Amino acid sequence: MTRHGSAVITASLILIAVASCGRKATTADPCACADHRFGGLSDSLLTASCDSAILADPEFARSFDKCLAARRAGTDTSSVHIGSLDTAVAGGAGLTSGKYFFSPETSKALWRASKVTGTHEGSIRVKSGFVVIQGDDIEAGELVMDLTSIGVTDLKGEDRAKLEGHLRSEDFFQVSSYPEAVFTLVRSRAVGKRSYELTGSLTIRGVDKDQTMAVVLAQASPDELVISGTLAIDRTQYGIRFRSGKFFGDLGDQAIDDVFYVTLNLRARR
Confidence band of 177 (pLDDT split at 50, 70, 90): very high
pLDDT band with cut points at 50, 70 and 90 for residue 20 = very low
Mean per-residue pLDDT over the chain, rounded: 81
| Percentage of the chain modeled with pLDDT above 90 | 47
Q: What percent of the chain has pLDDT over 70?
A: 76
Q: How far apart are CA 196 and CA 188, in angstroms?
A: 7
What would the pLDDT profile of 91-150 be if each residue is shown by its tens digit?
445 789 999 999 999 999 999 998 888 899 999 999 999 999 999 899 999 999 999 999
45-to-18, 28, 48, 192 alpha-carbon distances in Å:
9, 10, 5, 12
> What are the chain's domains?
11-73 (no CATH), 89-269 (2.40.128.110)
- pLDDT value, residue 86: 41
Q: Which residues of the chain form beta strands (DSSP E)?
A: 98-102, 108-115, 118-134, 137-152, 180-192, 195-204, 207-221, 224-234, 259-269
Residue 24 φ/ψ region, left for φ over 0, alpha for ψ in the -120 to 50 degree band, beta for the rest: beta
Q: According to the per-residue pLDDT averaged within each range, which of 11-25, 170-184, 233-247 is highest?
A: 170-184
pLDDT tens track for 42-83: 666 777 777 777 766 767 776 777 777 667 656 566 555 444
Burial 34-54 (b: 16+ CB within 10 A, else e): bbbbbeeeeeeebbebbbebb
pLDDT for 253 equals 83
Of 230, 197, 198, 218, nearest to 267 by C-alpha is: 218
This prediction has a pTM of 0.71
